[in-house]
Amino acid sequence: MINARGRLRRQRGAAEINMAPMLDMVFILLIFFLVTTSFVREAGVEVRRPVARTAAAEAAASLRVGIEASGRIFMDGRQVDERSVRALVERFLAENPDGSVVIVADRETPTGVTIRVVDNCRLAGAVNVAVAATRES
């Protein structure tokens, strides 16, 4: 009698698990999550926010413009000139047409600086411009 099964087992050798398709799927999922994640741009400056009773959380993708008490303006962790705010906001809105701008000004910031930054944001085409505040408890 011919032992066909035994001969086939000896010829095949050890079973192997191919990991390449699993690694491909992991990389595809990683790329998918990186592409679909929205990143919030921080102002890059620590400020003491003013207190307001009507403060609300902002959920949409937003650009944060920080203004220190001395009047220095920060975007994306670096200091910018007041005249360059408009161009930077225009670039942000080109990438995120539905994005909003949140101005994070210190409570000691001169009002004139804050108003000029808000004005430059609106001139850049930003429809949703807000000033950040801490909710009064």
User: pLDDT tens, 101-114?
Assistant: 888 888 888 889 98
Find out whether 74 and 66 touch, Cβ atoms under 8 Å.
yes
Pick 39 or 112 by higher pLDDT. 112
Give the pairing type, strands 78-80 and 73-75: antiparallel
d(CA 50, CA 87): 27
State if pTM tops 0.75.
no
| Domains present along the chain, CATH in parentheses | 51-135 (3.30.420.270)
Q: Which pLDDT score, from 0 to 100, does residue 120 have? A: 92
Token pair listed for 78: 């670096």
Name which of 56, 37, 32, 17 is nearest 134 in CA terms: 56
For range 62-68, the mean pLDDT: 87
Among 29-43, 65-79, 121-135, where is mean pLDDT lowest?
A: 29-43
Q: Which pLDDT score, from 0 to 100, does residue 91 have? A: 92
For range 36-43, the mean pLDDT: 61
Alpha helices (H) along the chain: 4-12, 20-36, 85-95, 111-123
Is the pLDDT at 24 greater than 60? The verdict is yes
Is the pLDDT at 42 greater than 60? The verdict is no
Pick 63 or 8 by higher pLDDT. 63
3-state secondary structure at position 84 = helix
For range 73-100, the mean pLDDT: 89
